[in-house]
Structure 1
Amino acid sequence: MPVRGLEADLVAQTASYLTQRLLALEALIPDGTLTPDDPLPFGHTIHVVTHDNQDSWKVQVSPTEVTFADELTCDADQAPPLPPGALHLVVMPDANAVFTFARLRSTRYHRTYLRDLSRLDYYACDERNNGQQWPFIALEIDWDGNNTIDDELIFEPTYQNPVDGGLCGVGSNQGPPVLPMWRFRDALRNDGGTFMACWWSMNDPLFPPGDVIRPLSEYITAHPNAAIVNLDGNHGGIQIMHGFSDPNDTYNGWVDAFTIGKDINGSNGQTQNSTITYDFQKP
């Protein structure tokens, strides 16, 4: 079965080559601000985000737009999960660009081990895309504790079903995305401590995209110390993205209720995990 999703328009390029092109867009030298200033709160909290550079989130685009707006046009039957606002990701064609993309990055989760994640999920709705890509998650990953980016790990809704995700899609079993409809996406799919959601790696050839994609738990087994890392204080290791395919493609999508949970291992006498749901709203 041919590769679909992010690499559908990049048939001649390997994942490693794509990584080089992607990371070449920004310097890989940390600026000394890798550690976030705000500690994670205990328990489950909802944080309202209404603009760039708020609550650890920073916009990065090329040459597109990320806005916080009321969603009134995507799904005629359903409002966003936390109405009325949502994160709006718009990617317009640009024949002169190498890649076109829209993304929002969080710096709050620097040095979070993948094995310590307890939630990673969101809702997405697309009005227009290339027929294969919906808003997705990209994680900057360090394998060995030296705070350099060894890999970029990708979660795409397209692969979370048996047709596009093969055997892994059977385990993830989240159904194919549909235009234009709000759908919940679970990037862990925790089944008794095993993460069944399907992810692919930019730099580890044993974790390719397509119908041979593999579960996140298998990636953690292969890289037990894999941790999310920030590039620097302005480029966080957790990314909500749209685009990054053919520069002639157009994308118009929405994301809401983006939730990240982390097992804090009882630090400071606490026994609760830290779970934050980010509620994107119009300013």
Structure 2
Amino acid sequence: MTGIARLALFGHPLGHSRSAQLFETWSAKSGPPLVYQPVEVRAEQLDAALERLRAGQWHGANVTIPHKTLLAARVDELTPEASRAGAVNVIVRGEDGTLLGANTDGEGFWEGCCATLGEPVPAGLALILGAGGAARGVAEALARRGREVRVVTRAPQRAVRDFAGLVVGCLDWEAPELESVARAAALVVQATPLGMAPVEHLAPPLPIEWLERALVVDLVYRPWETLFLRRARARGLRALNGWPMLVHQARLAAGLWFGIEAVRGFLEAAAEVESRDPLRRSA
């Protein structure tokens, strides 16, 4: 990619996203020249946005809620990770306008957790709360590493199909066995929008006293500390928000667009963005 790279972020709503700040700070400090444009795209506007991408308005795009699973069926090719997850959070445009869908969410989750903890993600049962696109990416990365994964969702029968080959079971929130599964979990991943602005006062309906030893990761990073994380920390559990995942999935996306050698300095730029975040300082 030569000249000024034009990148987009497709999703709706986008008020929570920090991706533009990450990429623009990286570009200003040590990265390639780029323009990163958040583009509010509703479901009925998705095909039109992809045609603009094919035509060259942008060189690539990130994808966020609620389009990650929809995109898996709309791009021309999928990476192995995206194919297994059935979800796309990165689009790479080829010179001929073809679109490659990739998923860096799962690997970003793994790398972000390991870097923050200073050790691997705990082995054992992983319980994912929610069944959207981000949950699928995380499930794929955990399953690829041999973790036993279960999903809690309002629609477990649909999740059985969507997570086929990734999980050993799907439960609804009223399942009698949910308590014993939660007590056995070594990792709990909160992958619903609950707790994200503007519903900061909400948390998933999983009693925190059921969690006995789990590492708790909430994929929300705005606010910096969700109600779910506060409850986990008050119980004495190790708990992380979604910022490490955001940073590492973005770094991996940059590697797909610019080449892995070009992403030196990305983590340093992310640390600068984090250090000046007023939400973090007030948490």
Give the number of the structure with larger relative contact order, counting CA–CA contacts within 8 Å between residues 6 or more apart: 1
Higher Rg: 2
Larger helix proportion, structure 1 or 2? 2
TM over 0.5: no
Larger strand proportion, structure 1 or 2? 1
TM-score, normalised on structure 1? Answer: 0.26
